[in-house]
A and B are shown apart, each in its own frame.
Chain A
Amino acid sequence: MKTDDLIRALAADTRPERPLWALLMLGLLPALAFAVGVVWATLGFRVDLATALVTPVSAARIVLTGALGIVGMRLALLLARPEGRGRARFWPLAVVGAVALGLLAWAYVTIPPEARQMAVVGKTMTTCLVMIPLLSILPVTSILYALRQGATTVPALAGAVAGLAGGGMSAAIYALHCSEDSPLFYVTWYGLSILGVTLVATVLGARLLRW
Chain B
Amino acid sequence: MAEQMDEWGQLLTAANTGDSRAYALFLQAVAPVMRGIVRAKGAGLGEAACEDVVQEVLLAIHLKRHTWDPSAPVRPWLYAIARYKVVDAFRSRGRRVDLPIEDFADDLAAEAGPDPTEAADMAKMIGMLDGRSAQIVRKIGLEGASVAETGQLLTMSEGAVRVALHRALKTLAVLRERHVK
A-B interface pairs (CB < 8 A), number: 118
Q: When the two chains form their complex, are residues B166 and A13 in contact, meaning their CB atoms are under 8 A apart?
A: yes
The prevalent SS among residues of B at the interface is helix
Of B17, B60, B144, the contact of A211 (CB 8 Å cutoff): B60
Q: Does B96 contact A (CB under 8 A)?
A: no
- In this complex, the member of A17, A85, A86 whose beta carbon has the largest number of chain B beta carbons within 10 angstroms is A17
Query: How distant is the Cα of A43 from the Cα of B144 in the complex, in angstroms?
Result: 62
* Interface flags, A1-43, vs B, CB<8A=1, else 0: 1111111111111111111100000000000000000000000
Query: How distant is the Cα of A17 from the Cα of B17 in the complex, in angstroms?
Result: 10
In the complex formed, the residue of A with least CB distance to B14 is: A14
- In this complex, the member of A10, A18, A150, A211 whose beta carbon has the largest number of chain B beta carbons within 10 angstroms is A10
Q: When the two chains form their complex, are residues A86 and B76 in contact, meaning their CB atoms are under 8 A apart?
A: yes
Q: When the two chains form their complex, are residues B20 and A9 in contact, meaning their CB atoms are under 8 A apart?
A: no
| Chain B residues within 8 Å of A20, by CB | 66-67
| Chain B residues within 8 Å of A7, by CB | 24, 27-28, 31, 58
Q: Does B169 contact A (CB under 8 A)?
A: yes
In the complex formed, the residue of B with least CB distance to A15 is: B166
Q: Which residues B151-173 have CB closer than 8 A to chain A?
A: 162-163, 165-166, 169, 173
Q: When the two chains form their complex, are residues A14 and B18 in contact, meaning their CB atoms are under 8 A apart?
A: yes
The prevalent SS among residues of A at the interface is loop
Of B23, B116, B162, B163, the contact of A10 (CB 8 Å cutoff): B23
A7-B24, A10-B23, A11-B20 given; A2·B69 CB < 8 A: no
Query: How distant is the Cα of A203 from the Cα of B54 in the complex, in angstroms?
Result: 30
A3-B54, A3-B58, A153-B84 given; A14·B23 CB < 8 A: yes
Interface size on B, residues (CB 8 A): 54
A1-B126, A82-B81, A86-B76 given; A6·B67 CB < 8 A: no
Q: When the two chains form their complex, are residues B76 and A9 in contact, meaning their CB atoms are under 8 A apart?
A: no
| Chain B residues within 8 Å of A149, by CB | 66
Of A1, A12, A80, A85, the contact of B142 (CB 8 Å cutoff): A1
Query: How distant is the Cα of A50 from the Cα of B66 in the complex, in angstroms?
Result: 43
CB distance from A149 to the nearest CB of B (A): 8
Query: How distant is the Cα of A178 from the Cα of B54 in the complex, in angstroms?
Result: 55
| Chain B residues within 8 Å of A67, by CB | none
Q: When the two chains form their complex, are residues A2 and B162 in contact, meaning their CB atoms are under 8 A apart?
A: no
CB distance from A43 to the nearest CB of B (A): 39
| Chain A residues within 8 Å of B68, by CB | 81
A11-B27, A151-B81 given; A6·B19 CB < 8 A: no
A83-B77, A211-B60 given; A16·B54 CB < 8 A: no
Q: Which residues of B pack against A, CB within 8 Å?
A: 15-21, 23-24, 27-28, 31, 35, 51, 54-55, 58-60, 62, 64-69, 72, 76-77, 79-81, 83-84, 115-116, 118-119, 122-123, 126, 137, 140-142, 144, 146-147, 162-163, 165-166, 169, 173
Q: Which residues of A pack against B, CB within 8 Å?
A: 1-20, 80-83, 85-86, 149-151, 153, 211
Question: What are 20 A-B pairs with beta-carbon distances under 8 A?
Answer: A1-B119, A1-B142, A6-B59, A6-B122, A8-B140, A9-B141, A9-B165, A11-B20, A11-B27, A12-B162, A13-B62, A13-B165, A14-B15, A14-B18, A15-B162, A17-B65, A82-B64, A82-B67, A82-B81, A83-B76
Q: Which 10 A-B pairs have the closest CB atoms?
A: A9-B141, A82-B80, A17-B66, A11-B24, A151-B64, A83-B80, A5-B141, A1-B122, A83-B76, A7-B27
